Amino acid sequence: MPLTPRPFRALVHARVPVAAEAPRPHRAMLAAATLCAAAATLLAGCQHEATVDPGALHAATELYLARHGDLCLGKPRWPIDVTQADARAHARDAVQMPVLQRLGLVKAEAITLPATADAPATAATRYTLTAEGQKSFIARKTATGDAAPPDFCAAHLTLDRIVGWAPEAGHKAGDGGPVVVTYTYHVQPAPWARDAEAQRVFPMVARVVEGDGRLELRQAFVLGEQGWVPAAGT
């Protein structure tokens, strides 16, 4: 079934609205870059609710993606330190950071992390964003407009088409409750996100890039004084 992205943070971790292949259905940071996480809720099938203006939902979904359509990778805190133990365990950062370094997005330096009450001093590699990497470190906002931590993002999504919409689970058509829009998207990846090795170590990025025009995402909206707006918590 389709998944609904929470401002694509990680589709990966979860602001990137991640997804399932059409006709198999996805519930974005954005996210993410947030792109996400990256953090989705399965919702039931799709239909058209007669009382809903499709043009209004189309406009609301376009606006949602314009503001929150970043596919982010759940890396809001830099620099990132990778210890020898991380490398031996093939930890996520230990696998991903060397690829980002090869692509010129991070620089590495050998450091010694100080001893703590729980561990002795240990050698590590510290990865810091380069000027090129900073271009993918994006300031974000939640769907309600509140500030959210910046994140390292791989792509931005725009609307392809609305597949359908239906009342959110637990609500009946026309009861004024949230409406879940199912849609397909187009993806605008950062140049580095097209790299084959980058897609190997960030498999969700590969999935979203390959799903352009095919994967279905979902987003819940509620009707307010200003029209359709993203439901709280999505």
User: How many degrees, rounded to 5, is the angle at CA 51 between CA 50 and CA 57?
Assistant: 95
Q: How many CB atoms lie within 10 A of CB 51?
A: 11
Q: Which tens digit of pLDDT belongs to each residue from 188-213?
A: 999 999 999 999 999 999 999 999 99
According to the model, what pLDDT value does residue 27 have?
A: 36
The Cα–Cα gap between 5 and 9 comes to 8
Confidence band of 36 (pLDDT split at 50, 70, 90): very low
Higher local confidence (pLDDT), 60 or 35: 60
Both tokens assigned to 131:
């000027």
Q: Is the pLDDT of residue 159 over 70?
A: yes
CA atoms within 13 A of residue 105's CA, in its CB half-sphere: 22
Q: Which tens digit of pLDDT belongs to each residue from 114-139?
A: 998 888 999 999 999 999 999 999 99
Q: Is the pLDDT of residue 22 over 60?
A: no
The Cα–Cα gap between 205 and 136 comes to 14
According to the model, what pLDDT value does residue 169 have?
A: 76
According to the model, what pLDDT value does residue 88 have?
A: 96
pTM of the model: 0.75
Q: Which tens digit of pLDDT belongs to each residue from 91-118?
A: 999 999 999 999 999 999 999 999 988 8
What secondary structure letter does DSSP report for 191?
A: G
In the chain, beta strands by DSSP E? 70-72, 80-83, 106-113, 122-129, 137-141, 147-167, 179-189, 216-224, 227-230
Tokens 């200003």 sit on residue: 226
The Cα–Cα gap between 124 and 80 comes to 10
Q: Is the pLDDT of residue 39 over 60?
A: no
Confidence band of 23 (pLDDT split at 50, 70, 90): very low
Task: Spell out the long-range contacts of 85-89 with Cβ–Cβ below 8 A and sequence spacing 24 or more.
Answer: 85/122
Q: Which of 113-117, 130-134, 140-144, 149-153 has the lowest mean pLDDT?
A: 140-144
Q: Is the pLDDT of residue 224 over 50?
A: yes
The Cα–Cα gap between 130 and 233 comes to 33
Q: Which tens digit of pLDDT belongs to each residue from 42-87?
A: 333 444 555 688 999 999 999 999 989 999 999 999 999 999 999 9
Percent of the chain with pLDDT over 90: 61
Higher local confidence (pLDDT), 9 or 52: 52
Q: Which three-class secondary structure state does DSSP give residue 138?
A: strand
